[in-house]
Amino acid sequence: MPEGVEIEFYRRAAEAIVGKKIVGIDASDAWYLKGDTTAEALTEAMVGAEVTATDRIGKLLLVELDTATIGMRFGMTGRLLVSDYAPIEKLEYSSDRNDPSWDRFRVDFSDGTDLAIRDPRRLGGVELEPDLSKLGPDFFSFRPAELDSRVLVGTVAIKARLLDQSRLAGVGNLIADETLWRAGIDPARPASTIAGPDRQRLIRSLRAVARDFLRDGGSHTGRLQASRVRGGLCPKDGNPLERRSIGGRTTFSCPAHQS
């Protein structure tokens, strides 16, 4: 968390800054600046510039200026605030506190409004001119042929493939578990074995999860979510869920109907 769904909510909130002129930034947390980005380079590119658009690819929020592109990542606990308005009030598995001392990056505008990233664990980051070629197609708009060539290949577990942002951008742990649970696919299955009816169910489930999570308010709203605990039971058939680590992430699945 946050996953591609949350970043889309952030992008929509950030539309409020389009057309505004930047008068100052606070990029004093050097750890939060990624790649070759420095506070000096950000100040030069941003102060005096106008925001022309917002965009999103996967979990990366893009703020387009008339001088440059700024990429914002939010790690596990980062939230976007636009003049203290938070499109996501609380992230699953993050702190309940709302502490301004966790603001890692801030942009001030000429009309007195501001934009900030509030990130308790400092796992996100800001980058000037991020390299978008490292990201796969966005999971909101992927084509089936892209799934075939980038995700459904090799012996790596299908869940690990879905989590690989270079293959399909925007899928996080909750989206992956919900998608595979709905599709009836074991998360540990080799990706290349997902074919025929399984492939069709995976495509339908990915699209349905994206739609449902946007409608319902975030990636924590899945039907599986309340059962993602030790001893949890499958909401579909009542069988005990299996808890494993796949792709480096805690994974819940139903051995009775996911194969």
**Positions in the chain whose pLDDT score sits under 70:** 92-96
143 and 116 co-located in one domain:
no
pLDDT for residue 112: 97
User: Torsions phi, psi of 203, nearest 5?
Assistant: -60, -50
pLDDT for residue 132: 96
β-bridge mates for residue 60, sequence order? 57
Q: pTM score, two decimals?
A: 0.94
Give me the domain span that covers residue 113: 4-133
| Helical segments of 15-120, H only | 39-46
Q: Which of 118, 133, 148 is the last residue of a domain?
A: 133
16 and 125 co-located in one domain:
yes
pLDDT for residue 96: 66
Q: Judge if the upstream peptide bond of residue 120 is cis by omega within 30 degrees of 0.
A: no
111 and 152 co-located in one domain:
no
Please check whether residue 259 lies inside any domain of the structure. no
pLDDT for residue 87: 87
129 and 23 co-located in one domain:
yes
Q: Which two structure tokens, joined as six digits, stand for 86?
A: 């938070």
What CATH number has the domain bearing residue 59?
3.20.190.10
- The helix/strand/coil state of 23 is strand
17 and 108 co-located in one domain:
yes
* Dihedral angle sign, alpha carbons of residues 89, 93, 94, 95: positive
128 and 144 co-located in one domain:
no
* Dihedral angle sign, alpha carbons of residues 228, 229, 235, 237: positive
Number of domains in the chain: 2
Q: Which of 116, 133, 150 is the last residue of a domain?
A: 133
Angle of the 4-14 helix axis to the 196-216 helix axis, nearest 10: 40
b (16+ CB within 10 A) / e for 161-179: bbbbbebbbbbbbbbbbbb
pLDDT for residue 180: 98
124 and 154 co-located in one domain:
no
Please check whether residue 207 lies inside any domain of the structure. yes
Q: Which two structure tokens, joined as six digits, stand for 142?
A: 């992927």
94 and 168 co-located in one domain:
no
pLDDT for residue 86: 87
Please check whether residue 115 lies inside any domain of the structure. yes
12 and 124 co-located in one domain:
yes
pLDDT for residue 93: 66
107 and 178 co-located in one domain:
no
91 in Cβ contact with 1 (< 8 Å): yes
Please check whether residue 216 lies inside any domain of the structure. yes
Residue 47, exposed/middle/buried by CB under 10 A (0-12, 13-18, 19+)?
middle
Q: Which of 133, 149, 165 is the last residue of a domain?
A: 133
Q: Could you give the CA distance from residue 99 to residue 84 in angstroms, rounded to a whole number?
A: 12
116 and 212 co-located in one domain:
no
Please check whether residue 149 lies inside any domain of the structure. yes
pLDDT for residue 209: 98
Q: Which two structure tokens, joined as six digits, stand for 190?
A: 């080799």
Please check whether residue 39 lies inside any domain of the structure. yes
59 in Cβ contact with 2 (< 8 Å): yes
pLDDT for residue 84: 82
Q: Could you give the CA distance from residue 167 to residue 127 in angstroms, rounded to a whole number?
A: 21
pLDDT for residue 89: 76
Please check whether residue 258 lies inside any domain of the structure. no
- Four-point Cα dihedral 198, 5, 97, 63, nearest 10: 140
Please check whether residue 148 lies inside any domain of the structure. yes
pLDDT for residue 90: 74
149 and 126 co-located in one domain:
no
pLDDT for residue 99: 80
What CATH number has the domain bearing residue 208?
1.10.8.50
210 in Cβ contact with 222 (< 8 Å): no
Q: Could you give the CA distance from residue 132 to residue 143 in angstroms, rounded to a whole number?
A: 18
